[in-house]
Amino acid sequence: MHTLLISIASIIHGVICAYFLMESNQPFEIFKLNIVLFYIRGAVTCLLFLKLAKNWPQLIKDFENVEIYLNNFPTSKRLVPELRIFTFTILFCAAVEHFSVHCMNFLIAYNCENNLLGILRRFFAYINYRQVFTYIHYNIFLGVFLQILNLSVTFGWTYADIFIIYTSRNFSEKLVQLKNQIYLTINEGIKRFILEVSVYPMILSGNKYFYITRDLILKIAGSIVTYELIMFQFSNDISEPPESPQC
């Protein structure tokens, strides 16, 4: 229920942000689309995890069968500590970044107002969620809800990345275990299979519609970096957007 609520709220917030940008009289900049994509991506992530939750029991059963089959080759003891350290590092960095931005915005509001209600009003209605309260009458409870929504979408984004890395790392560990088992039962058929694998490299595919190779991943990463550089180049004041409210 919580995930569905976050998904619906994210879609509504993204639509309001898009409408706010279309009605704005200022020149269009790619940087301003970030807020729209942020909430739409958060909604899509929540919906995908809802779909995954339906298939999760069967997926766990299949993974358990693999664990039983590879029972003689236990998982490396370093895997769990490695994943815990990685998770803590990623979440800590995300938390520092997120709360630093909001602390800075709160200090701006604090310097502009003299009382707590005024500070919260400026923080919610004029700094963080101006695009929403332009069309909706200000309400402190709605501001708190939007803040919780922003926090959920931010860490949902990070969680999705961690989930993919966890899945990939465990899949890689199972391949290592499978390789160890193959070495103990090697025969002519296995030798032919190894030869075929060495000639035709194993790659992931999406129902044979596309193939995911290391080169493709590097190209995607390069494209993302190029996009970020272009965005920084054409946004003259990214660190402080033109619409940033002042006292």
User: For residue 80, what are its two tokens?
Assistant: 């769990």
The whole-angstrom separation of Cα 13 and Cα 5 is 12
For 156-213, the pLDDT digits (tens) are: 888 888 888 888 888 888 877 777 776 767 677 767 777 776 666 566 666 666 667 7
> What are the residues whose beta carbons fall under 8 Å from the beta carbon of 246, sequence distance 6 or more?
112
Highest mean pLDDT among 58-72, 127-141, 220-234: 127-141
**C-alpha closest to that of 79 among 180, 195, 204, 174:** 174
Q: Is the pLDDT reported for residue 238 higher than 60?
A: no
pLDDT score of 5: 87
Give the mean model confidence (pLDDT) for residues 113-134: 89
Sequence-separated (6 or more) residues with CB below 8 Å from residue 202: none
State the sign of the Cα–Cα–Cα–Cα dihedral 108, 114, 116, 119. negative
- Please give the Cα distance from 67 to 44 (Å, whole number): 31
Percentage of the chain exceeding pLDDT 90: 9
What burial class does residue 11 get, using C-beta atoms within 10 Å of its C-beta: 0-12 exposed, 13-18 middle, 19+ buried?
A: middle
Q: Which two tokens stand for residue 56?
A: 């999760």
CA distances for 241 relative to 56, 144, 226, angstroms: 42, 23, 21
Distances (CA, A) of 21 to 18, 137, 147: 5, 19, 20
**pTM: predicted TM-score of the whole model, two decimal places:** 0.68
Short-list 212, 206, 193, 153, CA closest to 3: 153
Q: What is the pLDDT of residue 242?
A: 46
Helices and strands in the chain: count of H runs, count of E runs:
8, 2
Question: Domain-by-domain residue ranges, the chain?
Answer: 2-234
Output the furthest CA–CA distance in the chain (Å, rounded).
82
Q: What is d(CA 144, CA 86) in angstroms, rounded to the nearest whole number?
A: 31
Pairwise CA distance, residues 1 & 83, whole Å: 29
pLDDT at 148: 92
pLDDT band at 78 (very low <50, low <70, confident <90, very high): confident
CA distance 151 to 9: 13
What DSSP character marks residue 107? H
